[in-house]
Amino acid sequence: MAIQGNSDFFSVGVDFVVVNVPIPYDLYINSSTHAVNDRFVRIFPQGGILALEEVMAFKAKYYQLYVLESQRDKYLKSLISLAHVPDEKKADVIKDSAIVYLSKVFDADKVFNTELLGEAISGCRESVESMVGVIKDYSIKQIQDLIGSLSFHDFYTYDHSINVSMYCISILKALKPKVDKEELASIGLAGILHDLGKIKIPTHILNNPGKLSEEEFDLIKKHPEYGKMLLLEKELKNVDVDIEVISRLVSEHHENYDGSGYPMKLAKEDIHLYARIAAIADVYDAVTTKRSYQGVLDTDEAINVLSRFSGKRFDPEIFDIFVKSLNKVVQKRFITRELPEDFDPSSPHENLPLQPVKARVIAPDIIKNEEKDFGKVSVQVKFSGLKKK
């Protein structure tokens, strides 16, 4: 065979190779002892059947196995069938593959073009489809636990994008228990690309943990529009996804349910269902993931703090279902800290910007109702209000 460069291959763990069924990819080893002279040799062909004993022999004999980059999608899909591999390890491998494609788009040293974006979208789609196969039956609480077990990367945007994708998948499943895999993959892909427009924001602003100037924050607030422009400006070739739907989530995930968001001041059902879901996923991951801010919240306090956005920033029906899936209730009396009304997970902070709860004047009849409903979460799902527009 012809000698190929290292960029044409990716390494795989021996424990993740399928056995006793036709293997859907070729297996290679690097026969060179010098990295600059990589020479990959195929040791097992696609379509062959490996016994467990043979795989164990590979593990003892070879330092590392490799698969062609062009066969990555087949490798990822094969992971789902590995009953002996924990979901955490499967998800970690799938996440790393998604980051390979995200990094190509966010790499400041590469010239961005539609071909690069098309390759990234196709690659992320393959990763999301495989992730759906692993987590399609996970509750939101299980997703949070899974995220906590996965490895972190140097660039927070990568981890956050994939976390939002997984939360979007699980929230949609909670809303629509009979949703098919195609729709779960659609919202998952849109979620992983929700911050695509940030590639047009200078890195020194995205990574600035200090106080942003008004001009800098205004620039960050343009990322939904930038993301939509990148997706729709030119035709993306060989991309078999619904770009229109993806662009809706990308451009609308900072719209608020009460119409106070950006960039278009959309309200209620005028905001795409996927974007209303992503709005919750985006903020929840930001306030509960340790890589985002110092002093992040545990699940109980996060639910209590975010409950103040229900009906304002968040669709109240979706938020109620989100809370229920976490097996939590909103303890309104015990909220002592809150996020500012203009809190935006796109704006970097060294510390989570919590502040003491401001005193509010509450009418007597509202107090009576709150006392009567104390400790409860009302979940009244009217799917007529959850239209996918």
Note the pLDDT tens digit of each residue in 233-261.
877 766 778 899 999 999 999 999 999 99
Predicted confidence band at 84 (pLDDT cuts at 50, 70, 90)? confident
What does the pLDDT read at residue 383?
44
Residue with token string 């070879």:
62
Long-range contacts of 201-208 (CB under 8 A, 24+ apart): 201/226, 203/108, 206/157, 206/348, 207/348, 208/348
pLDDT in tens, 115-142: 888 888 999 999 999 999 999 999 999 9
What does the pLDDT read at residue 214?
85
Q: How far is CA 186 from the centre of its chain?
A: 12
Bridge partner list, 41: 29
What single-letter amino acid sits at 161? S
Torsion of CA 143, 149, 155, 160, to 10 degrees: 10
What single-letter amino acid sits at 13? G
What does the pLDDT read at residue 364?
52
Out of 66-75, 134-143, 355-364, least confident range: 355-364
Taking 80 as the threshold, does the pLDDT of residue 201 lie above it? yes
Taking 60 as the threshold, does the pLDDT of residue 6 lie above it? no
Torsion of CA 176, 182, 130, 160, to 10 degrees: -60
Nearest by Cα to 208 from 351, 353, 354, 350: 350
Bridge partner list, 351: 294
What does the pLDDT read at residue 156?
76
**Domains along the chain?**
1-85 (no CATH), 86-385 (1.10.3210.10)
What does the pLDDT read at residue 241?
83
pTM of the model: 0.85
Out of 46-50, 253-257, 383-387, least confident range: 383-387
Asked whether 146 and 275 are in contact (CB, 8 A), the reply is: no
- Strand ranges for the chain from DSSP E: 9-12, 27-30, 40-44, 65-68, 337-338, 355-356
pLDDT in tens, 9-28: 999 988 899 999 999 999 99
| Residue 74: both structure tokens together | 């087949």
